[in-house]
Amino acid sequence: MRTTSISTCCRTSEKDYEGPARLPPNGHNNHRVEHVFHLLERLRLTWLLAHLPPALVWAVYMALNSFVTVGLLAVLALVTHNPFVFPSLGPTAYLFFFTPMAESSSPRNAVLGHAVGLTCGFAAYWATGMHPFPQGFTGEVYWPRILASAIALALTAVFMAILHIQHPPAGATTMIVSLGILAKPQYLGVIEMAVVLLALQAIAINRLAGLPYPLWKRERRSAEGADGDGV
């Protein structure tokens, strides 16, 4: 009797492979990996599923997406000499491809979340004296900088709650700006543009994989999972 587990599904021969529809519907992670199998079908690479563990296939999918999306922005940063790559961009890319159908992974929440973080971070940075983050930081306590980061994170939390925005990486963005690491006014627009470009890449890749990934805001559904990853 043929089992319906993901592992068995992915180790059958390419001739017997019946596609993602054979995945069990009640597995917690199945809805996260099913689109990867759909994409491999479209690219005629289902033979990979016959020879490799599903966890490895998913890991490679995540690695390639992360490398390509952030790599393209890194090239843009190199060509323009602007910060199109910054620390909090990594967590956003991770959300886009690890839990693409989660509310926090929607383009709306990513774009607006980082915008709120940038605005609140710069407001706090300006209000506390606009002290740039020193090169060769030795860990010295500097109270205006500590106050700026505390105010920035608090304001970001308030506005994200009021606007119903869920995107945790925005908390890192507001810290980066409020601490003076990337706080030049001309950088703020560049950082936000980088988020928009990353969101566009996420739309293209996730839709290519067959996901009903939103162009802006994910529609709420009564049957969505408790962890916010329901489709």
| Domain-located, residue 229 | no
| Domain-located, residue 171 | yes
pTM for the full model? 0.79
51-55, 119-123, 125-129, 221-225: least confidently modelled range: 221-225
Number of separate domains in the chain: 1
| Domain-located, residue 160 | yes
Look at residue 56 and tell me whether its pLDDT is greater than 60: yes
Look at residue 155 and tell me whether its pLDDT is greater than 50: yes
How far apart are alpha carbons 217 and 227 in whole angstroms? Answer: 17
| Domain-located, residue 130 | yes
| Domain-located, residue 175 | yes
Instruction: State which residues form the domain around 143.
Output: 82-208
Residue 54 structure tokens = 């599903």
Look at residue 35 and tell me whether its pLDDT is greater than 90: no
| Domain-located, residue 173 | yes
How far apart are alpha carbons 104 and 106 in whole angstroms? Answer: 6
CA Rg value for the chain: 21
* Residue whose entry in the numeric block shows the structure tokens 């509310």: 103
